[in-house]
A and B are shown apart, each in its own frame.
Chain A
Amino acid sequence: MAMNTYDVLVIGAGVVGAAIARELSKYELSVCVMEKDEDVCSGTSKANSGIVHGGFDPAVGSVMAAMNIRGAELIRKLHKTLDFPYKQNGAMVLCFDEADRPALEDLYDRGVRNGVKDMAIISGTEARALEPAISEEVVAALHVPTSGVVCPFGMTIALSENAADNGVEFRFLTTVTGIEKTAAGYEVKTDQGDFSATYVVNAAGVYADTLHNMVCEEPLHIIPRRGEYVLMDKEVGTLVSHTIFQLPSRKGKGVLVTPTVHGNLLVGPNAFDVEDREATDTTSEGLEEIRAQALRSVPAIPFQKMITGFAGLRAVEKSGDFILGETADGFFDAAGIQSPGLTAAPVIGEYIAGLIAKKAAARKKDGFLAVRKGIPEVAKLSPEERAKLIAKRPDYGRIVCRCENISEGEILDAMNRTLGAVSMDGVKRRVRQGMGRCQAGFCTPGTIELIAKTLGISMNEVAKNRPGSEFIMGE
């Protein structure tokens, strides 16, 4: 029993759970993160816009607004210490009709009151001077230079790895089935046995209401709101340089067109409420909808350069705001984390960890490792640096994924480090193998082989992600 006892049990290894765990790892606390999938970053954190929002959108005075601004500031520092891809590319909110100008001005005012710096309302002509590909119909735009793009996988993985390097334990393929209050804290029942913890953190994304309602009297209700996306070839990744929004409506921020931090062009999301919390399927209607909406902003988007489509579920709580804090004695919610949740995650981490540390009267740990080094992106090095690295590690010279230029060495690194990948998707999210234009057509066989060899499993056991998603069905 003692083995399964922790000071803090964090449920959910998405970006929020990872950020909380990393903050908790600064303290003298035993911490375990529990995740139902085989890897970190397997739910909402893996399928979103990857935007570090400027902070003009959340309602003035909301928790979201406060956390957005500071979250963006933290990410600007964290991406250096934790070595994950981030770029401040700026954003523009397009206004297509003079009649909507008051709404644009409202957005500007909201941004000012939220504390967003350096914003300006610019004319359609000025907007087109900055972004020649946007529509002739744009009459004005809100320019937000502080907005950025981040790799959501890179950020979640970096936070998790750093937490693990600082002593946090991660348990994968573990689903919570019940939570009971005990004298000492909580008994957490899972399909992998029972665990006890003094404090429990609920960072379970679209399942956060299920967990919350196991413990608290006031129920939460999460509505999974699906957003579909189209990702395009890097060849057209420079069509726009800013993140291009449309004036927000009640249903969300509208469809955006943005370069990703890796240089692809991303279009989406729409907003469609679903019942099924695993309904990350795309629909032809949805793809058509985002296509039609995106063309309004940028008429020349070459949709024939699409390399993949995907969908993510926003964990929308009925109230519309983040639910953060101690909602029952020793039970902490980080629920309803929808946009700008990715941006806010580091602040949510600080906030929840701070509450727990205070309650537990925990001391700061000596020797906390604040810095984490990522896997080298070999193809981005100069030929000279690359040759030097290959001389040391010849496997960095064997290219497996030819579209993204990913070497065997990087794929091995993805598995052989802290919280290493155990699935094809895990490898892909760490080093971008298979993320290019052929979508793993050429490198699937070679990568399956490398995973089998490295993990010491048979080819038949190599899976795309969770068990049941194996590629090979026999010899």
Chain B
Amino acid sequence: MEYHDIVIIGGGPAGLSAAVAAHDAGVRDILILERDDHLGGILNQCIHNGFGLHTFQEELTGPEYADRYIRQIAERHIPYKLCTIVSDISAEREVLYINSEEGAVRLKAGAVVLAMGCRERPRGALALPGFRPAGVFTAGTAQRLVNIEGYMVGKEVVILGSGDIGLIMARRMTLEGAKVKVVAELMPYSGGLKRNIVQCLEDYGIPLRLRHTVTKIHGKARVEGVTIAEVGDDRKPIPGTEEFYSCDTLLLSCGLLPENELSKQAGVRLDSVTGGPSVDDRLETSVPGVFACGNVLHVHDLVDYVSEEAARAGEQAAAYVQTGERKQTAAAALEGKGGVRYTVPQTLHIADMADRVTVRFRVADVYRDKQLVVYYDGREVRRIKKRILAPGEMEELVLMKSSFADWPDVQTITIALEDQHGDA
């Protein structure tokens, strides 16, 4: 069987960054498997700017950002296969891939990096009632049709959900001459970045109606309109608040779901909140030698964080190949409390952790004037003031190895959101 030191599943931003980092850590036998006909993943359809401020200290478009990494891949001569889909991964890191040139090929990997990204929640999963006409698209599908294929998907548009792609598409469709009538959001807050609400909706006078949802899709052949209603605290439509919006297109931006079907085949344990693998501070999953990064691990809002996280996964995969399986030291569990929905990583090996480990998390609601408190086995070790936290913005916190000097045997690290103390 063909063997490679590191096989990376997915050639989007996560896969590319992981490959570069693994190469720079000294591993030469790397293979990237990408299902699309180009590297760069979804970045290629994100032709707006706003990428790279953290990574490159300049504002790039999605394709430009991808290109920076594609060049690094080329400079390092890291091999990749396009139009190649992985159909199976085993716990023993045997990978079966399919493409038209080679047919079906099995190979063995020293380490695997999962970087398959995520998918959009479709209409069916939202249980949106009504007819099933043409003209209902997820925002990303519409983005691809408009930006890559060059076709307009509609003229009068309603958008359900205020995720970032939906917000970006509200602006994009407007610039292409469509009328975006409204963005309806079920929750009392937007799921997207604040900057996108300002730059994509407010600047174009597109109304955002919070606490609203689509209760019916009209039109038997093509969308002819949607009924939108206000929802109560139970997120159920309030009778009598229904309003009809005539439109030919409904775009959905109602959440992204990490694509972990392959991870499950490999026996990787998933976190029920993130929908991605449960990982330790090395971004290693429950299956030894299988690492995860990017949106397959948890949905990010900025690609810069994906790149940074994936580089860490690449380095750790390289270390795994170079030094073999890590010693099974006891791991502390990280837990979120008081509105901290999850943490990534989920566990931390204190004995051999890096000097700094970045923990990322999201919160459950919009919170103002809170404090983020860190506890080691119930003992408060840090308290950080937070003016505002929102579900649409990923938060981070750095855990220093030095902070465990006095407590090397901590079992539970709690990250909690608490009210300000009187003296704050």
Q: Mark A435-474, 1 if CB is under 8 A from B, else 0.
A: 0011111101100110000000001100111111111111
With contacts A231-B124, A442-B141, A464-B134 known, is A472 near B104, CB below 8 A?
no
Say if the beta carbon of A154 comes within 8 Å of chain B. no
Contact residue among B87, B101, B145, B154 (Cβ-Cβ distance under 8 Å from A394): B101
Say if the beta carbon of B337 comes within 8 Å of chain A. no
Say if the beta carbon of B220 comes within 8 Å of chain A. yes
Say if the beta carbon of A88 comes within 8 Å of chain B. no
Measured between beta carbons, the chain A residues less than 8 angstroms from B83 are 398
Measured between beta carbons, the chain B residues less than 8 angstroms from A472 are 145, 151-153
Q: Mark A229-265, 1 if CB is under 8 A from B, else 0.
A: 0110001000000000000000000000000000000
Contact between B153 and A310, CB atoms less than 8 A apart: no
Contact residue among B85, B222, B261 (Cβ-Cβ distance under 8 Å from A470): B222
- Number of A residues whose C-beta is below 8 Å from B? 57
Q: Which segment of A52-60, A119-127, A281-289, A363-371 sits at the interface?
A: A281-289
Contact residue among A405, A448, A459 (Cβ-Cβ distance under 8 Å from B87): A405
Among A280, A390, A397, A440, the most chain B Cβ lie within 10 Å of the Cβ of: A397
Contact between A468 and B119, CB atoms less than 8 A apart: no
Q: How far is the CA of A322 from the CA of B85 in the complex (A)?
A: 49
Q: How far is the CA of A397 from the CA of B83 in the complex (A)?
A: 9
Q: How far is the CA of A55 from the CA of B248 in the complex (A)?
A: 45
Contact between B222 and A379, CB atoms less than 8 A apart: no
* Majority SS at the chain A contact face: mixed
Contact between B120 and A282, CB atoms less than 8 A apart: no
Min Cβ gap B247→A in Å is 12
Contact between A282 and B100, CB atoms less than 8 A apart: no
B81-111 residues at the A interface, CB under 8 angstroms: 83, 85, 87, 96, 98-106
Q: How far is the CA of A307 from the CA of B100 in the complex (A)?
A: 29
With contacts A282-B129, A466-B221 known, is A399 near B145, CB below 8 A?
no
Q: How far is the CA of A474 from the CA of B248 in the complex (A)?
A: 13
B239-267 residues at the A interface, CB under 8 angstroms: 248-249, 261, 264
Min Cβ gap B268→A in Å is 14
Measured between beta carbons, the chain A residues less than 8 angstroms from B138 are 441
Say if the beta carbon of B273 comes within 8 Å of chain A. no
Measured between beta carbons, the chain B residues less than 8 angstroms from A231 are 124
Min Cβ gap B93→A in Å is 17
Say if the beta carbon of A87 comes within 8 Å of chain B. no
Say if the beta carbon of A97 comes within 8 Å of chain B. no
Q: Mark B102-138, 1 if CB is under 8 A from A, else 0.
A: 1111100000000000011011110101111111011
Measured between beta carbons, the chain A residues less than 8 angstroms from B212 are none
Min Cβ gap A370→B in Å is 33
Total CB contacts across the A-B interface at under 8 A: 143
Measured between beta carbons, the chain A residues less than 8 angstroms from B102 are 387, 397
Contact between A310 and B132, CB atoms less than 8 A apart: yes
Q: Mark A304-346, 1 if CB is under 8 A from B, else 0.
A: 0011111000000000000000000000000000000000000
Say if the beta carbon of A171 comes within 8 Å of chain B. no
Closest partner residue, chain A, to B98 (CB atom):
A397
Measured between beta carbons, the chain A residues less than 8 angstroms from B191 are none
With contacts A402-B35, A445-B141, A471-B153 known, is A282 near B130, CB below 8 A?
yes
Measured between beta carbons, the chain B residues less than 8 angstroms from A390 are 98, 100, 103-104
Say if the beta carbon of A388 comes within 8 Å of chain B. yes
Closest partner residue, chain B, to A463 (CB atom):
B134
Measured between beta carbons, the chain B residues less than 8 angstroms from A405 are 85, 87
Q: Mark A195-222, 1 if CB is under 8 A from B, else 0.
A: 0000000000000000000000000000
Contact between B96 and A439, CB atoms less than 8 A apart: no
With contacts A310-B132, A397-B101, A472-B145 known, is A439 near B151, CB below 8 A?
no
Say if the beta carbon of A118 comes within 8 Å of chain B. no
Say if the beta carbon of A395 comes within 8 Å of chain B. yes
Measured between beta carbons, the chain B residues less than 8 angstroms from A278 are 220
Measured between beta carbons, the chain B residues less than 8 angstroms from A309 are 124, 127, 129
Measured between beta carbons, the chain A residues less than 8 angstroms from B99 are 397-398
Say if the beta carbon of A386 comes within 8 Å of chain B. yes
Measured between beta carbons, the chain B residues less than 8 angstroms from A470 are 134, 222
Measured between beta carbons, the chain A residues less than 8 angstroms from B215 are 284
Min Cβ gap A456→B in Å is 18
Q: How far is the CA of A1 from the CA of B151 in the complex (A)?
A: 43
Measured between beta carbons, the chain B residues less than 8 angstroms from A275 are none
Say if the beta carbon of A102 comes within 8 Å of chain B. no
Contact residue among B35, B129, B130 (Cβ-Cβ distance under 8 Å from A399): B35
Q: How far is the CA of A325 from the CA of B261 in the complex (A)?
A: 51
Q: How far is the CA of A396 from the CA of B83 in the complex (A)?
A: 12
Say if the beta carbon of B144 comes within 8 Å of chain A. yes
Measured between beta carbons, the chain B residues less than 8 angstroms from A466 are 221
Measured between beta carbons, the chain A residues less than 8 angstroms from B124 are 231, 306-309, 439
Contact between A474 and B101, CB atoms less than 8 A apart: no
Contact between A280 and B131, CB atoms less than 8 A apart: yes
Closest partner residue, chain B, to A283 (CB atom):
B129
Measured between beta carbons, the chain A residues less than 8 angstroms from B261 are 235
Measured between beta carbons, the chain B residues less than 8 angstroms from A230 are 127
Min Cβ gap B11→A in Å is 14
Contact between A307 and B125, CB atoms less than 8 A apart: yes
Contact between A473 and B154, CB atoms less than 8 A apart: yes
Closest partner residue, chain A, to B99 (CB atom):
A397
Contact between B149 and A445, CB atoms less than 8 A apart: yes
With contacts A307-B125, A397-B101, A474-B151 known, is A281 near B134, CB below 8 A?
no
Q: How far is the CA of A93 from the CA of B125 in the complex (A)?
A: 29
Say if the beta carbon of A391 comes within 8 Å of chain B. yes
With contacts A383-B106, A386-B98, A464-B134 known, is A444 near B141, CB below 8 A?
yes
A–B Cβ pairs within 8 angstroms, 19 of them: A284-B129, A284-B237, A287-B127, A383-B96, A386-B103, A387-B102, A387-B104, A395-B100, A397-B101, A397-B102, A402-B35, A405-B85, A437-B125, A441-B140, A445-B141, A445-B144, A459-B151, A465-B134, A473-B154
With A383-B96, A388-B103, A459-B149 known, 17 other A-B pairs at CB within 8 A are A230-B127, A281-B217, A283-B129, A308-B124, A379-B87, A384-B104, A386-B103, A387-B104, A398-B83, A398-B100, A441-B122, A444-B141, A470-B222, A471-B135, A472-B153, A473-B249, A474-B155
Question: Which residues of B approach A to under 8 Å, CB–CB?
Answer: 35, 83, 85, 87, 96, 98-106, 119-120, 122-125, 127, 129-135, 137-138, 140-141, 144-145, 148-155, 215-217, 220-222, 237, 248-249, 261, 264
